[in-house]
Structure formats: C-alpha cells, structure tokens
Amino acid sequence: MLVLRTDRTSGAAVAAGRRTQVRGADDVRRLTAADLGGEPGERATLVQFSSAFCAPCRATRRTLAEVARMVPGVAHVEIDAEARLELVRELGILKTPTVLVLDAGGAVVRRAQGQPRRADVIAALGEAVRGRHDG
C-alpha cells in the first residue's frame, strides 16, 4: 500500500493506496502546475482548497496571501474544491479550508484543516524550504 503523507496532527494516512501519475524518485506524489491550476513557487507553495460559502476560507486566503508576499519564492494557489473533485478525492481533502504546504519539488510537507495561524504557516514554510518533512 502506498501512503502519500502522514497527517502530523492525527497521524492519519492521507490518500492511502491510490496510485497517481506524477511521482519523484522517492515515489512521493508531487503536485504540478497542471494539478494546481497555477504556477508553483520557486521555493515552496501554499495550496488552499476552498469552497464558495466557506467563511474561514476568506480569512485563510488573506493569511496565506500575506505570508506568500513576505517570503520570496513562495506562491499561494487557491483551488476550488467543488470544481476539482478528482484531486480532492485523490488527496483525501475532507473539509474546507484545507491547506497543503509543498516544497520546491511539489511534495506535500504539511497539511492542515481549518483556518491556520500565521505563525504555523511560517513554521511549515521553514520546513518546506529546508527540505525537512516526513518521508
């Protein structure tokens, strides 16, 4: 069975057992510009899954955009969960907002459900940029 990543807060397997097409040498699912519907950052990418009537999604958008502006080489990409159901299912997204922090290669370093705190986003970006994450 293939596990893409482990959720750091609960230890739950994310999208276990699902085969996908884009993988690195380490057999980890990597999100591409085509998956994201936008260009990833040179150093890291903040991916936000949102839905139309999600109030916390608006606050999350502001937080992630602010952090992306502060850190050179970091992009914020927002994905409409309702429009991208296949990707949502593949990645095991259960609610909005869900935030994925990707490293420069597109691998998921951290994920969080709900509205993240700015300090937590900055800490996760530090991990992504340094290349320290679960494998």
At residue 79, what are phi and psi to the nearest 5 degrees?
A: -120, 130
> What are 112's strand-pairing partners?
99
pLDDT band at 33 (very low <50, low <70, confident <90, very high): very high
Residue 133's pLDDT band (cuts 50, 70, 90): low
**Percentage of residues of the chain with pLDDT beyond 90:** 71
Q: Which of 3, 126, 100, 116 is nearest to 45 (CA)?
A: 100
Structure tokens at 59: 């606050």
Dist CA 128 CA 44 (whole Å): 6
Is the pTM value of this prediction over 0.85? no
pLDDT tens digits, one per residue of 54-94 = 999 999 999 999 999 999 999 999 999 999 999 999 999 99
Looking at per-residue confidence, does 14 or 47 come out higher? 47
Please identify which residue in the block is written with the tokens 């937080």. 63
From residue 30, alpha-carbon distances to 14, 15, 54, 111 in Å are: 14, 13, 27, 14
30-130: which CATH number, 3.40.630.30, 1.10.3210.10, 3.40.30.10, 1.20.870.10? 3.40.30.10
